[in-house]
Structure 1
């Protein structure tokens, strides 16, 4: 998710256009992606005049190429598909401009400055991004099976029973969590004074493709008892049968949780996502949205943090179109019928 003050990636711009095409207003797209509304209008104009390719960051004109086209494509494939330790032998998994310059010098005998490497990478359609860290224990076959077979089966079951499908997750946010940008004098970093400490607020939330959002904030341990409280809250506030999709951590798989679900007489059923696949859970978007909004508040303690999180969540509840927009993420296309 793009943050205000940071250059958005090509993928984020295309995602914003997809939300606009689905009928979401520019203001709400900007809020959902945490960018300025002016950016949304600019991307829309660029795409209208030059197609989606016009959204890519253009390389500075007039600078002569140092690498031949074939060498450039080799660099592009290297950064896209290979981690540094595979070619440099060091325990490094993230590419920097300096490391790319080192490889270019070693492979092609061409010296390039860090700035020139940055221009090269941007011209090749690459940008600086926070990577998704994949566990080596991910089961790609299980993930593919969830998308193609298991979830469609769950969706059919929900239709037969008139059940509401919700995806749930838990999150903990500390009082000293900070993000966002502000304006200040050039060369002098602004200081934003706010509360400190390691105290935190826990959050359980669940989200549905129809725009439904339910949540529960709490202090203390995020354990099976807290999860049971959230499940009980869902049963009180949702009249339809509930199919709750969660991760396979020790909390929802605990024996006491299984016993509780069995006593609901079918009103609540649990299904478990494949391990180490957070991209399959749309509730991750709720977590990101709440963190991005609450982190900009000047909170002094966990009570003020809880109030900021509650305010953000209530706004989302009143904007089901934004919640539905989370499901437009290409990784979540498997959820849409």
Structure 2
């Protein structure tokens, strides 16, 4: 392929695989081979297509990250520029802790990793409870003077999921640990706005809650 054709190929691939009729944006040598054949009427074997992608276009095989289709990057940008400065300013006026909260779960199944073993003899990891898990709510705390950062967490009993009572228990524990006004910033899952949680928050006016924009996992410090 000529230099001009290679640049045209680069531009075609940059449009994404979905622009050329595929269901997802994964580029494989088979798909790139089809693009070359479709637009340039040239047929290469897949090994040579790999050579073109890596040596001539400077591409490499990369595992893509997942991103929710409903993620609104514009709204996330607006939140960072407008909402978070407001949250921080109001917390400072109240001499309050900034607290970033999120829930997570840990499966008790051992992580599968490669290991050396005799050829033909596959090692076996014995698992007592294949569905065992621990639910945890974590909180990154920033002191009122913004000089100290801390980590607090609250764990549920084994194999339990967070519901309104668990959220309230974790907030109560947090109040006891920080002993001062707090501005909680957390995501917009339904449990954070349940009637039970809202009724509890009415009884603790020193605890103010704010929300992250929808679907912004990379924005949340406690993730």
Q: Which interval holds the TM-score relative to the shorter structure?
A: 0.7 to 0.9
Large movers: runs of 4+ above 6 Å: 185-189
Distance 2:40 2:85 in 1: 50
* CA drift at 1:202: 0.9
Name which of 114, 120, 131 aligns with 2:65: 131
> Contact 1:183–1:190 at 8 Å: present in 2 too?
no
Q: For residues 11-65 of structure 1, what are the alpha-carbon distances to aligned partners after superposition, in whole Å with 9 as ceiling and x for unaligned?
A: xxxxxxxxxxxxxxxxxxxxxxxxxxxxxxxxxxxxxxxxxxxxxxxxxxxxxxx
Residue aligning to 1:313: none
Is 2:152 aligned against 1:214?
yes
Secondary structure of 2:93's aligned partner: helix
Secondary structure of 1:283's aligned partner: coil
Please list every run of 5 or more consecutive structure 2 residues that lacks an aligned counterpart in the other structure: 143-147
Q: Residues 197 and 86 from structure 1, CA distance in 2 versus in 1: closer, same or farther, beyond 3 angstroms? A: same
Residue aligning to 2:193: 253
Secondary structure of 1:103's aligned partner: helix
TM-score (norm 1): 0.55
Is 2:166 aligned against 1:226?
yes
Q: Residues 104 and 216 from structure 1, CA distance in 2 versus in 1: closer, same or farther, beyond 3 angstroms? A: farther
* CA drift at 1:125: 4.7
* CA drift at 1:146: 0.2
* CA drift at 1:239: 2.5
Tell me which protein shows more helix as a share of its residues: 1
> Contact 2:140–2:151 at 8 Å: present in 1 too?
yes
Secondary structure of 1:95's aligned partner: coil
Residue aligning to 1:104: 36
Is 2:142 aligned against 1:204?
no
Q: For residues 110-138 of structure 1, what are the alpha-carbon distances to aligned partners after superposition, in whole Å with 9 as ceiling and x for unaligned?
A: 34444444454445254412322222x33
Q: For residues 144-179 of structure 1, what are the alpha-carbon distances to aligned partners after superposition, in whole Å with 9 as ceiling and x for unaligned?
A: 210110001111122222222122111123233635
Q: Residues 167 and 101 from structure 1, CA distance in 2 versus in 1: closer, same or farther, beyond 3 angstroms? A: farther
**Aligned-residue CA RMSD (Å):** 2.9
* CA drift at 1:199: 2.6
Q: For residues 90-115 of structure 1, what are the alpha-carbon distances to aligned partners after superposition, in whole Å with 9 as ceiling and x for unaligned?
A: 43343333222322232223344444
Tell me which protein shows more strand as a share of its residues: 2
Q: Residues 253 and 106 from structure 1, CA distance in 2 versus in 1: closer, same or farther, beyond 3 angstroms? A: same
